[in-house]
Amino acid sequence: MEILKGIGVSPGIAICPAIILEAEDYRIPQRFVVRKQVRAEIQRLRQAFLDAIEEVSQMQGTQAEIWDSRIKDIFAVHLHFLRDRSLRKKIADLISENFYTAEYAVSHILRDIAKHFSQADDAYISERVHDIYDIEKRLLRHLIGKRQEEISNFSEPMVIISQDLTPTQTASFNQHYVKGLATDAGGRTSHTAIVARSLGIPAVVGLGKITQTVASGDRVIIDGTQGTIIINPDESTIDDYKAMAEEMVEHETALGELASLDAKTTDGTKIDLLGNIEFPHEADITLKKGGDGIGLYRTEFLYLDIDHEPTEEDHFQAYKATIENFGDHPITIRTLDLGADKFTHYGHNIRERNPFLGLRSIRYCLQHLHLFKTQIRAILRASVFGNIKIMFPLITNIMELRQAKWIVEDVKEDLEEEGIDFDHTMQIGVMIETPAAALIADHLANEVDFFSIGTNDLTQYTLAVDRVNERVASLYTPAHPAVLNLIRQTIQCAHRAKIDISLCGEMASDVEYAPLLIGLGLRTLSLSPPMIPEVKKVIRSISLDECNAIARRAMEFDTSKQTINYLREEIRKIQDAEA
Ligand code: PEP
Ligand code: MG
């Protein structure tokens, strides 16, 4: 039994056999399967060779007329290698003798061959090194691709272990069988973590070396609440965790009774708790958990299918479907925040050195007006069906906001000319998620109807800490006095300008921060829907005066550690008093 500690990003417990999902972009490390999986691993290898042969043969068939003889030569060499039975046998032997994964065995043998070729005196042979790397990549692509397919068609419960996962991969997992996720990389507010939470899959990230410690087929406990992984647990540990999982279910059921009650402090101050949603189906979960509306409708899910650019109708139908369940409850649709760790735009494959500082989000939209206008048209068309607001992400200067608003005006004119109805009074707001926006909040407040503070990015940009990098995860905290000061200042600006303000970063999903945020003046929080009952429970157990006192005290500390310890202690007192 081995225990690893990481960052728990999606609560819950999973106890299942592990499957390792490699990533093509990484060098394949030495990894093992359990003895009883060796045959299946060799079968995977065989299939990858057959698929690669078929792929190259098909290319030869369809492209032969346009290829010159040099290209034909290259593909003939590839086929020669792929059909070489002794090569396949050598790799299979490595799997059966050492219990290596097929991916590692392929990579190991082909890199060995490449090394020998590169040392050859014969120029023809040494140039073949690139072909060997190409063949390695092709085989790995088939192995990894098949595994991904297998995972989506799997009919047994499992947990997925990977170096990293993209939000697209995470979103494609079948929740019935994928019971937990654990990755080497990642941070608390990485988009993959947010997707895992929204799917309700327990997840631990930032483990550093989980993929080197677990073998495919090992039994693993993922405790997403504590951020712990237990590899090959003994029976008594499994029993303990099963009991804990049952307790969690009971606790959730008890919290379910709060759904129909208001989130009011003990002196009657109403706090609106809204849901952050990633996918339309979460709108229902928000209502079931007792949410008062949607405070952040992330719309990047429309780009999950990278082979297809979403049309205006795709946008419109997705928004309309969500709105219809919500009556008069407010729904804030955030315009596309593509790029960095989120889904990238279809056809957009330019790698940037610093994607979080690059052409992402509103910047991307303002440079791709067709895409932006398509979404805005759909939002405006949907606005007649409910109480819709529009929100722009990653604003850093007033000109960006003005440009975005001009485009909304432009689209409104087009719709009017076409005789298409929309809500003429639809509110427009911005996310305050960069220090620049927080520092010019006074100016921004004059030109919008509301603010929503995005602490996930605000923390990353204020502290210069990448939100997805596990190596600096310990530095990433919204409890840093610099972040708290920017939050306080933004709230004060909104109050002075008499505009609405909410907070929709993951900080709002963390019960420990609820009294502080209310004490700082917030009356609307938008959070991960499964966390609504927990936060509601805290709010219903505390008075506004207590929140104000907690905020005053919390703002006095000069280290985030003191602040966190203090807030934790206060929550513990509230929970003890309730028990
Ligand atoms: C944020 O940055 O706090 C936020 C809510 O947006 P996202 O996590 O989607 O970047
Ligand atoms: Mg953000």
pLDDT in tens, 113-167: 888 888 877 777 777 788 888 888 889 888 887 777 777 777 789 999 998 888 7
CATH 3.50.30.10 domain position(s) in the chain: 2-23+149-234
List every span in the chain annotated with CATH 1.10.274.10: 35-144
What lies within 8 Å, CB to CB, of 90 at 6+ separation is: 109
Please check whether the domain covering 35-144 is classified as CATH 1.10.10.60: no
Q: How far apart are CA 344 and CA 368, in angstroms?
A: 13
Residue 453 phi/psi, 5-degree rounding, is -85, 120
- Give the pairing type, strands 427-432 and 450-453: parallel
Name the 3-class secondary structure at 386.
coil
Residue nearest to atom 3 of ligand 1 (CA): 454
Contact residues for 459 (Cβ-Cβ < 8 A; gap 6+)? 189, 465, 467, 476, 477, 478, 480, 483, 505
Work out which ligand 1 atom sits closest to the CA atom of 300. 9
Q: What is the DSSP letter of 229?
A: E
Fold of the CATH domain 2-23+149-234: Glucose Oxidase; domain 1 (3.50.30)
CATH topology of domain 260-578: TIM Barrel (3.20.20)
Burial degree of 215 (CB within 10 A; 0-12, 13-18, 19+): buried
Q: CATH 3.20.20.60 residue ranges in the chain?
A: 260-578
CA distance 357 to 425: 33
> Which of 277, 279, 337, 364 has the most ligand 1 atoms within 8 A of CB, as the residue to mutate?
337
CA of 483 to the centre of ligand 2 (A): 14
Q: Specify the pLDDT at position 280.
A: 86
Pocket test for ligand 1, best of 188, 189, 333, 465 (most atoms within 8 A of CB): 189
pLDDT of 378 reads: 98
DSSP state of 404: H
The pLDDT score that the predictor gives to residue 69 is 65
Measured from the CB, is residue 433 less than 6 Å from ligand 1? yes
The number of the ligand 1 atom at minimal distance from the alpha carbon of 504 is 5
Task: Tell me, yes or no, if the pTM score tops 0.85.
Answer: no
Instruction: Give the whole-angstrom CA distance, residue 505 versus residue 507.
Output: 5
For the chain, state the CA radius of gyration.
26
Which residue CA neighbors atom 6 of ligand 1 most closely?
454
Q: Which atom of ligand 1 is nearest to the CA of 296?
A: 5
**Annotated active-site residue in 16, 365, 493, 504:** 504
Between the alpha carbon of residue 389 and those of residues 15, 279, 336, 378, the distances in Å are 42, 17, 14, 13
Q: Identify the H or E element spanning 427.
A: strand 427-432
For residues 105 and 548, give the distance between their C-alpha atoms in angstroms, rounded to a whole number: 61
Ligand 1 pocket, 503 CB below 6 A? Answer: no
**Residue with token string 């394949």:** 28
Question: Is the CB of 455 within 6 Å of ligand 1?
Answer: yes
Task: Verify whether ligand 1 is closer than 6 Å to residue 300 (CB atom).
Answer: no
Nearest ligand to residue 487 Cα: 1
The angle, 0 to 180 degrees and rounded to 10, between the axes of the packed helices 102-118 and 85-98 is: 130
Annotation marks residue 315 as catalytic:
no
CA 467 / ligand 2 centre spacing (Å): 10
Lookup: tokens for 378 = 């759909």
The answer to whether 16 is a known catalytic residue is no
Strands (E) across 149-195 are located at: 158-162, 178-183
Angle at 311 between CA 305 and CA 315, to 5 degrees: 85
| Catalytic entry in 191, 329, 345, 480 | 191
Cα–Cα dist 223/238, whole Å: 12
Q: What is the pLDDT of residue 216?
A: 82
456 lines ligand 1 (CB under 6 A): yes
Are 345 and 364 within 8 A, CB to CB?
yes
Residues of the chain with pLDDT under 50: none
